[in-house]
Structure 1
Amino acid sequence: MSVLLFGLVGMLLGSFLALATERYSLANNYREWLRYLLSPASHCAHCLHQLRWRELIPGISWLLLRGKCRYCSQPLPFTLLLLEYISSLLLVVQYWLIAGLEMQLWMGSYTLMLLLLADIDRRYGVLPDILTLPFLWAGLIFHSLHNQLTAVDAIAGATVGYLAFAFLAEGWQIVRGSSGMGYGDVKLFAALGAWHGWALLPEIALLAAGLGIAGTLAISFFHKAKRNVMFSRQPFGPYLAVAGWIIMFIKF
């Protein structure tokens, strides 16, 4: 029963994350974005028709509608369904790996924040401060309450993570004369340092780099303009998020 509950909650939260990602593009600032999370009511992005409750059932409505709006027949984003099921799957995996309700809540927040950051960076190429900075502070607070790491390790992780990626970003700018890494990636790596400590940062960075190479090769394989994909700038946030999640549940 608990597994089913976690799966259902994961789908509901995944649906909310999809809404948050979708409405991020509508806002000019963070206050507008937070307001857009509450209104207007969910509607089709093409015909603007307000959706009814039976068209908003996470994990089911998209399938029943066959991926199309029932009013204008325009396709609904497949990523909506994918995010709902990924969120559900991750929370179920977490349920099996972690004991204790309080720890479940902490790790669930960790997982969902990484998922939201990865989806926003994938779509818009940005990792907003309104998410990365609270994520960093949450890591420091978590360790201060549960002593998984010492405060020194957590603070050192945030500091080393920030400085390491900032050095790479600035070094690339000086050598190549172009931006190779955004400071959103720098802040996300610092946040992962706060959650994991400085000692695990090399593993996270190497794993993220490996995932990034594999992901770029996979995308270029299925993309017509292969050369353009190989040499274009790809968002690194999703790979950092996946690496952080994997390391968390391997080392937990």
Structure 2
Amino acid sequence: MRWVEDRLRELADTDDQYRKFNARVVATADPATMLGVRVPRLRRLAREVSRSDGRIAFLAELPHHWYEEYLVHAFVLNETREVAQATRLLDALLPFVDNWCVCDALNPRAFHDGQAMGGRTAEALVPLAKRWMASDHTYTRRFGISILMRDLLGDDFDPTQLRQAIAADNGEHYVRMMIAWYLAEALVSHRDDALAAIALPELDPQLRRMAIRKGIESLRVPAETKDTLRRLRG
């Protein structure tokens, strides 16, 4: 919508340094689509959009032109409280996502609400994660893995989920980075299962090294576990 674009231009940094920095960090997004708006300002704009009469129209307006429009879209979508609606909105948006930053910004409130899930979080989310992890689109697949990490490492964890994530490996860097991140996070709360997954013979050696590095770099992984990871690294 035009008013959103106008607001983005108003909120952009007056110099070009942040836009250039962001272009380097995000890497896969087209720098020509970046205006250079900082995330806190985008979150404030998302609240404006959410409260406006144009919320539904904005979420339906795909594809967007600006990188920052996609981030605002993600933040507005995240406020969705119904699983079915969040799923429909995600299915519409994900094919247009072309970078890790927008992908990782997606974190719908509905997926954390036990009441919205009817008390059956795993039953609701595992099939969705599997479907998204089977996508040929890099960032849809990455998002599916993120569901296992963000929403299912607590009481709804099952060791088979680690193998599901590993099976999503298609050799693409941004997919592997999410799998490695997930395995490293699993080390915190499910140490033995995560170590067993990292040691699986069928795990690609590069992915194993990535997961080990993430685990060793993590401030949340205990020193004893890091020693085990170093031995696995060889």
Q: Tell me if TM exceeds 0.5.
A: no
TM-score, with structure 2 as normaliser: 0.32
- Name the structure with the higher helix share: 1
TM-score, with structure 1 as normaliser: 0.30
Larger RCO: Structure 1 or Structure 2 (Cα < 8 Å, ≥ 6 residues apart)?
Answer: 1
